[in-house]
Chains A and B, each alone.
Chain A
Amino acid sequence: MSFTTLNFLFFFAIVFWGYYLIPKRWQWIWLLVASFVFYAFSAWWALFYLAGTIALTYGGARWIDALEGKRKEAIKNCPKEEKSAVKKKFERKKRGVLAGVLVLLVGLLAFVKYTNFFLDIGFKLMGGEGESPALSLLVPIGLSFYLFQNIGYLIDVYRGQYEAEKNPFRFALAISYFPHLLQGPLDDYKAVSTALYASREFDDSLAVSGAKRAAWGFFKKLVIANQAASICNPIISAGGGYDGLSVITCMVLYAIELYADFSGYMDIAIGCSRMLGVPIAENFRSPYFSGSIAEFWRRWHITLGTWFKNYLFYPILRSKWCSSIRKGLKKHKYIANTLPNVIALCIVWVLIGLWHGANISYVLYGIYHGGFIVLETVFAPLYDKFHKKFPKVQKNVFFRMFRVVRTFALVTVGYYLFAPAAISLTKSLILSTFEWEWSEFVSFGYYNFRELLVVLFSTAVLVFVDAYGCREDRLPLSAWVAKQKAPVRYLLYIALIFSILLLMVYGGEAMFAYFKF
């Protein structure tokens, strides 16, 4: 069920009112049922994947906990000399369970999503011509997200961060919770589950704040993203046949579209969840105001970055062979510290690219971004030296603006790979970018004039809101709104809804961009 449909509005209205009318001890059950109903609307067969992965992870986590309990018992009762041997034995067993379940979970994802991709690569490598063999597999929507949520939980339990959840249905709720089920955020299990299992009273300020947040998400998606998409998507799918300025404009529009789409979805998810009294993680923090690619990924799809950091990047860096590299090169401090980071970054970024889709374009996209981050890491000491020598530069407002513009430009260039998701289209888009024909651009301008005006106006609002909120020392704009007198507040809400009704593009084509991941 897409968030920006009448169906979802009815669904959520029922869930919301029901939640506060039923006895409190049933609230979490209500949410669990609602989440499964929500998922069933996407594809009833996908419920098997959801339930299956949840059951598998639940079982694995309980088993690891049981082993841990046995270990504690064994250590208590055994003589001192054997203590470390016992410890090692149980570590091995726990690791075995973890590995087994991870292989199954990751294997499932790989099989369902990536089989055809790898078949294609293998086929081409062996010199095959024509169409490579492919299985027709339907990928259940949201699989990449809830599988990662499951994996994160299991690894956390293995690391002893918290105990496994004993109630399978409560665990199921934490994973399948409908606001974060299909597109994230990948929540911290402990934080979100504590909130989910608690029963709550209706809280007016949370409900209002949540509704405001969700409404803002509707504006971003229905107005900004859909209008921008209606202009740039046809040109991106066509790949060629347009002049350079039009193509550049379209790529910038795509940058706006992707952000408005994905962060709009997050706003709706966060807003709805807040109305239910459950805080979920932020996923965006004015990303296009970043000064560097590294900073961009701390502000864009934040929970994905955190997930990869916790469950892949750190484990790689803490692994034996990374440590041995560090020790072996101890004499050359710079290399000893930088080389492991670079290796880990390369691995992580290829996988982040691959996570986005079974397509070489996404892998290249990951390498593109990873490349910049590696460069930043490698040249970090040089930058530091430069800025120590010329401290005024860093504080200069033009320099900061330059960094923001540069980062936005680099990210937009990256979209040449990401948007069409086909190398041939990327190639022709790049070639078209260098063919400038003023009259064609003017044509593009007046044929899309109305949509461009709407995008311009609505993006200006978005930029204002994001610029206001990107400063750490200031509360977001919604806090300012909350402080205004009632008539002003109501006027603003009415204006927002009015704008959505007037400017929106609604319809079947209006699917969320990140649904396919």
Chain B
Amino acid sequence: MERNEILEKLNEIFRDVFDDDSITVTEETTSSDIEDWDSLTHITLISEVEDEFDIKFAMKEVVGMKNVGEMVDIIEREA
């Protein structure tokens, strides 16, 4: 898949999980950019992404992910 396809799909997921249609994620988006993105919603987000792309994140990736761009990297690699 292309990176911007992935990004678009992620955008949908983000909007769904955070129930906010105004969200637009870029490769630089981090958890401090989205108000409700905390440790509680992080796992929900991860699970939805895993379901959507049929991949499984390793624990170190879940914990170590710094921004959406890194998420895209992993998806690109695994999917």
A315 touches B40 (CB 8 A): no
Say yes or no for B44: interface residue by CB 8 A criterion.
Answer: yes
A200 to chain B, nearest CB (A): 27
B62 touches A318 (CB 8 A): yes
A314 touches B60 (CB 8 A): no
Q: How far is the CA of A309 from the CA of B58 in the complex (A)?
A: 16
A323 touches B47 (CB 8 A): yes
Number of contact residues on A: which range applies? Answer: 20 to 34
B9 to chain A, nearest CB (A): 18
Contact flag A377-B47 (CB < 8 Å), given A159-B59, A161-B60, A318-B62? no
Q: Which residues of B contact A384 (CB under 8 A)?
A: 19, 36
Contact flag A159-B58 (CB < 8 Å), given A310-B63, A314-B63, A381-B19? yes
Q: Which residues of B contact A326 (CB under 8 A)?
A: 47
Say yes or no for A317: interface residue by CB 8 A criterion.
Answer: yes
Q: Nearest residue in B to A309 (C-beta to C-beta)? A: B39
Q: Which residues of B contact A309 (CB under 8 A)?
A: 39
Residue-wise, chain B 19-63 has the 8 Å CB interface mask toward A (1 for contact) of 100000000000000001011100110110000000000111011
Q: Which residues of A contact B63 (CB under 8 A)?
A: 159, 161, 310, 314
Q: Nearest residue in A to B62 (C-beta to C-beta)? A: A314
- Which among A309, A313, A337, A341 has the greatest number of chain B C-beta atoms within 10 A? A337
Q: How far is the CA of A345 from the CA of B44 in the complex (A)?
A: 14
Q: How far is the CA of A310 from the CA of B65 in the complex (A)?
A: 13
Say yes or no for A160: interface residue by CB 8 A criterion.
Answer: yes
> Which residues A329-362 have CB closer than 8 A to chain B?
337, 340-341, 345
- Name the contact of A341 in the complex, choosing from B36, B40, B58, B62 (C-beta under 8 A): B40
B43 touches A314 (CB 8 A): yes
- Name the contact of B58 in the complex, choosing from A160, A313, A317, A381 (C-beta under 8 A): A160
Q: How far is the CA of A314 from the CA of B43 in the complex (A)?
A: 7
A314 touches B59 (CB 8 A): yes
Contact flag A160-B60 (CB < 8 Å), given A309-B39, A317-B43? yes
Count of interface residues, chain B, beta-carbon cutoff 8 Å = 16
Q: Nearest residue in B to A341 (C-beta to C-beta)? A: B40
Q: Which residues of B contact A323 (CB under 8 A)?
A: 47
Q: Which residues of B contact A337 (CB under 8 A)?
A: 17, 44
Q: How far is the CA of A337 from the CA of B42 in the complex (A)?
A: 11
Q: Nearest residue in B to A340 (C-beta to C-beta)? A: B43
Q: Nearest residue in A to B32 (C-beta to C-beta)? A: A472
A377 touches B40 (CB 8 A): yes
Q: How far is the CA of A309 from the CA of B39 in the complex (A)?
A: 8
Q: Which residues of A contact B47 (CB under 8 A)?
A: 323, 326
- Which among B19, B38, B40, B46 has the greatest number of chain A C-beta atoms within 10 A? B40
Q: Which residues of A contact B58 (CB under 8 A)?
A: 159-160
Q: Which residues of A contact B46 (CB under 8 A)?
A: 318
B1 to chain A, nearest CB (A): 24
- Which among B19, B43, B60, B64 has the greatest number of chain A C-beta atoms within 10 A? B43
> Which residues A281-319 have CB closer than 8 A to chain B?
294, 309-310, 313-315, 317-318
Q: How far is the CA of A313 from the CA of B39 in the complex (A)?
A: 9
B7 to chain A, nearest CB (A): 23
Q: Which residues of B contact A161 (CB under 8 A)?
A: 60, 63-64
A343 to chain B, nearest CB (A): 12
Q: Which residues of B contact A340 (CB under 8 A)?
A: 43
Q: Which residues of A contact B17 (CB under 8 A)?
A: 337
Nearest first, the 8 A-B pairs at minimum CB distance are: A159-B60, A317-B43, A161-B60, A337-B44, A159-B59, A309-B39, A341-B40, A310-B63
- List residues of A whose CB falls within 8 A of some B CB: 156, 159-161, 294, 309-310, 313-315, 317-318, 323, 326, 337, 340-341, 345, 377, 380-381, 384
Contacts beyond the supplied A159-B63, A318-B59: 4 A-B pairs with Cβ under 8 Å: A314-B59, A315-B59, A340-B43, A341-B40
28 interchain pairs, CB-CB under 8 A: A156-B60, A159-B58, A159-B59, A159-B60, A159-B63, A160-B60, A161-B60, A161-B64, A294-B38, A309-B39, A310-B63, A314-B39, A314-B59, A314-B62, A315-B59, A318-B43, A318-B46, A318-B59, A323-B47, A326-B47, A337-B44, A340-B43, A341-B40, A341-B43, A377-B40, A381-B19, A384-B19, A384-B36
